Structure 1
Amino acid sequence: MAYLMARPLLGALNEIKLWVGVFGVANAPTTVDFSIDSVPFVPKVAGVFSPIRDREAGRPHSNYQAVFTFQARGFSQEHRIRISAGGGLEPYFLRVTSLPASVPERLKGSFKILLASCYCSVTDGVDVGRFIQGLKVKPDMALFAGDQVYLDAPAWEHLPQTEDALRQALSDKYRRNWLSEMTGGVGLQQGLSKAPAYCLPDDHEFWNNYPWSQFWKDGTQTAPTPSGAVNLWAEAARDLYADYQQGGTDPAAKTSFRLDIEPLSMLFLDMRSQRLADFKHPQGLMPAQAEADFKSWANGLINSQQKGQPRIGVLASGQTLSASAAFLDEIGDAELANYETQYRMIIDTLDLLGQHGIQVVFLTGDVHWSRVMQASNTKTSRTCLTEVICSPTSLVPTPVVDQLKKAGNVLRGVIGNRQQWPLHADPEDAPAFFGGKAFRSVEPVRPQGWRGNHVALVEFARSGFGVELKVTYYPITAPPTPESSAGPFTLLNA
């Protein structure tokens, strides 16, 4: 069956950016029409449909995507958009609210970021996409901080070893999530349309602990070919991440994105898709351009402060800053800290910001528990860094371990109360120091943490000369259970 769908992408201020996908057609549409209240809505940059790189042997492409950019009708304005592409495709409708011009005063509202990560459809008993769409609060943007798909799940699955069949199998996992509303399954489709979204990758956009091969999973090992040593899985996964999660005609996924909404200066860094299997390499985590963008973002914060226009930094990636280097780094899960050169560069840069008294909020996921912690710069003893973790939305299954946890929870119920989330881990205590002791956790060392499947709402509001930060976690349950919050925290760049 043929499908037409669209979702809003995070773009520049005063613009609407749409990813449009067409599935199950022999040829890409030659024209796409957009309208608002029957009035044509003409893109200022018309997208060009590119085949989603999931080819089948002996068949032409049947799935396509393009990105269209429009001039918004003002800041914080709802746009009710109708999309049609002919060819027997049902029109698609969606509501997109443009970004605000700036963070509002506390009495007038807040700038809201929906934060989510780690979605496995196999264990989704609630329909996470529908749950996100049903939240009464309306975020201004959404950040999906990694593992929007688990290409390596289930653990016992044997994926095809030929390139065409492998690409089809991996793309099937994307379509299950991206088209869930249309195909009647569970997935992320409705959640992806909640607000203009930016998607960062983490390891399961490839496989666990990518780029390190996993002995237990066929296909993660680099294999020789007539043109040289390649990894078919890695190449296919990188292409599909670019096609589904970022979109457009650029064959390579962009590794950074900058957006300023006064007084926030936000940078989203992909430190996974170009990661190298060399912990000492100067570009082990991200390429030189992304590193340059990171340094430019930091310099911009310092320059703004020196001009008497202080800003709050917001930085996001797919793993936590505060985790120590992993011991089983190649066969387990390497952390940012395992990559000595670039992690040191990141910490040194954030340390410099902290010495200038500049506040940074770091948004991430990955660890399968949620936590809010604050840290001070050890040279100035001033709080300068707030790390917000939200993970997972639907926990990936772990064979044998899950069965043992379920059995233990049954026994626990015999002598007391069973746990609501028996398969999930408790949030870890914040480390006393991290980043080579550049940062120290602000008391209490045990910060507020949450166990279980959640999405978070990260809110910023102006208050006096500073900005207030509040984080609210929504347990993903059916029926819904009450949310809980951390904060407000006052962020003030002196």
Structure 2
Amino acid sequence: MTLILVLHPRATRDPVVQVWIGVFGATVPLALRWQLNGADATPVPVRALSGARPSAAGPRAFTGVYEFRTGITPDTTYTVRVSDSGTTFSDVLTLRTLPAAVPAGGGFEAFNVLLASCFYRHEDKRGFAGDLVRGLPPVHRPDLTLLMGDQVYLDLPALRNFHTGQAELAAKFEEDYVANWGGPGGYAEILHSAPAASIPDDHEYWNNAPHGSPTAFQSLIPGFRDHWYTAARQMYEAFQLSTPGGYRPLLELDVPPLSFFLMDNRTFRDRDRRSTLPPGGLAQFEAWARRVGDEGRFGVVVTGQSLLQGAAGWLKGTFGDRGLADYGDHPAIMRTITGLARRGRPVLCLTGDVHYGRVVLAEEIGNPEAKVYEVISSPVSLVTTPGLDQLAAVRRQRDDPWYRHRAAAAPPATIQVDGAPKLATSTIYPRAGEKGNHLTQLAFRQSGFGLELLITYWMAATDGAASVRHDLDPIRLSPTF
């Protein structure tokens, strides 16, 4: 492993410059020298540089999170440089802090949020995802990036006989993360593009985790499954989280009048299907919703799976994937969301997972002023699926470079969960033939007493197809009272 230093910006609710650092290929933690805007500075170690595999020896990955807290202002560009004490290895990061508020309309300025989920690097060896984000026009450069799960596929290649020891698994998982996080180019361009916040989905662990999966047969054996979970969680914490044990409290980010709530519905998902959130997570979510309603803000709920899909049932849930509706806390989550929508401002739900892009409007039947919008962004790079890929090739239509991608599934016509109002759905996107690897951008502008939302699906290039963009008609997020 060649020794390299990497910096990526992180999003936080505090007015600070937060950066994640990776040192790959070292045998001991480096002595670091930091500079902020060209001057020597000493950041606060939120999580000091330490081995992703603490007990390992030899070349490996060290990661940490640091904050510059003094004199930091919103919507301001900062340059962070880090080097080892001998200045042999270094990296430079230019980032912009989150704005104090969503800008007012009337110009090109907007609060741009980039959505990404589901990246399998073996299907993007040419680096199309990195080219896509690097090529965004300046007016579309993201202010915030939300990573909504499956940033890695630790359980692939499918049906592989992985080593079953925890140390061997951790080494394999570290290698997967370093390949995505290290760059240059590729997925690291997405991580580098703007302050980012992430949540996991199942492939940060294994397909359909925490339940056993026939595609990762070690997950069917309790002892081996425990080794896998421990090693995968260790890597998730080292590469994607800011603070040790940082699953609680769940992350809230405010850019008035928006307020984001990022749910980790995977790490603490109950094998008995009673809950998906960590202890105290549902109470925190309900308190967030009350605060958002009291302050007259627009709530944005980020999950690794769709909240609007129905339960998977026994067959699909055993041999495929269970969804959020298969768990006992789904009704309470939906009651909280619809209750917030009833307070007069639409709620926006963001998710990935399903390998297609889609925008849906769900309105309460009999009370159409209570609205919930769902935006799905998936995948950045479609995963290899043995058998299904070969079948898709047989059915391939001429000149279809995205023949392996399925069309977006329609949502249930109506959605009803215990104690929540009944919702009727309609699909806003996609239109016929709009599919493929992509990133999604949400551009928010204040307009009157509400917000204007512009959604763009940026379709990646691939062999035989150039990158294109799909712009949706503006969505007005208007208060009803």
Cα distance in 2, alignment partners of residues 125 and 258 from structure 1: 34
SS at match of 1:333: coil
Q: 1:428 to 1:358 in 2, by over 3 A?
A: same
Q: 1:171 aligns with which of 166, 170, 174?
A: 174
Deviation at 1:88, TM superposition (A): 6.2
Name the counterpart of 1:69.
67
Secondary structure at the counterpart of residue 104 of structure 1? coil
The answer as to whether partners of 1:4 and 1:89 remain within 8 angstroms in 2 is no
Aligned to 1:151: 154
Higher mean displacement: 239-248 or 264-273: 239-248
- CA separation of 1:330 and 1:442: change in aligned 2, threshold 3 A: closer
Task: Tell me the alpha carbon deviations over residues 250-277 of structure 1, each in whole angstroms, 9 at most, x when there is no partner.
Answer: 1454461011111011111110111111
The one-letter code of the counterpart of 1:52 is A
CA distance in 2, matches of 1:192, 1:67: 14
Distance in 1 (CA, whole Å) between partners of 2:311 and 2:281 is 22
- After TM superposition, give the deviation of residue 278 of structure 1 in Å: 1.3
State the secondary structure of the residue aligned to 2:368.
coil
Query: In the alignment, is residue 464 of structure 1 matched against residue 440 of structure 2?
Result: no
Counterpart residue identity of residue 392, structure 1: P
Residue type at the aligned position of 1:195: A
Counterpart in the other structure of 1:203: 202
Question: How many residues align structurally?
Answer: 466
Give the corresponding residue for 1:49: 49
1:462 match: secondary structure? strand
User: Is the contact made by 1:3 and 1:89 (CA closer than 8 Å) also made in structure 2?
Assistant: no
- Structure 1, unaligned runs of 5 or more: 305-309
* 1:395 CA displacement: 0.4
Q: Is this contact kept in 2: 1:43–1:68, CA < 8 A?
A: yes
Shift of 1:446: 6.3
- Among 259, 267, 273, the residue aligned to 2:261: 267
Matched letter for residue 143 of structure 1? L
Q: Check 1:337–1:9 CA distance in 2 against 1; reply closer, same or farther (3 A cut).
A: same
Letter in 2 for 1:431: P
Cα deviations across residues 46-82 of structure 1 (Å, max 9, x unaligned)? 65222212754xx267321111111364221111222
Residue in 1 aligned with 2:240? 245
Partner of 1:232: 227
User: Measured at CA, do residues 62 and 363 of structure 1 come closer, stay the same or move farther in structure 2, by a change above 3 Å?
Assistant: same
230-239 vs 316-325, greater mean Cα deviation: 230-239
Which of 252, 258, 261 lines up with 1:258 in the alignment? Answer: 252
CA distance, structure 1, for counterparts of residue 67 and residue 215 of structure 2: 43
CA RMSD, Structure 1 to Structure 2 (Å): 2.1
Which deviates more from structure 2 when the two are superposed, residues 255-264 or residues 66-75?
Answer: 66-75
Which residue in 2 is equivalent to 1:440? 423
Structure 1 match to 2:292: 301
Q: Indicate conservation of the 8 Å contact 2:159/2:217, yes or no.
A: no
Deviation, structure 1 residue 29 = 2.1
Deviation at 1:132, TM superposition (A): 1.7
Q: What is the rounded CA distance, in whole Å, between the counterparts of 2:248 and 2:50 in structure 1?
A: 17
Distance in 1, matches of 2:153 and 2:385, equals 13
Larger deviation, residues 284-293 vs 315-324: 284-293
Counterparts of residues 76-95 of structure 1 (less than 5 Å):
76-87=75-86, 89-95=88-94
Give 1:202 deviation, angstroms.
Answer: 0.2
1:307 aligned partner: none
Percentage identity across paired residues of the two chains: 30
Q: Is the 8 A contact 1:241 1:253 kept in 2?
A: no
Q: Could you say which residue in structure 2 is the equivalent of 1:277?
A: 271
* 8 Å Cα contact 1:54/1:164 also seen in 2: no
Gaps of 5+ in 2: none
The answer as to whether partners of 1:9 and 1:17 remain within 8 angstroms in 2 is yes
2:403 is the alignment partner of 1:422: yes
In the alignment, residue 430 of structure 2 is paired with which amino acid? Q
Aligned counterparts, 1:6-21, within 5 A: 6-21=7-22
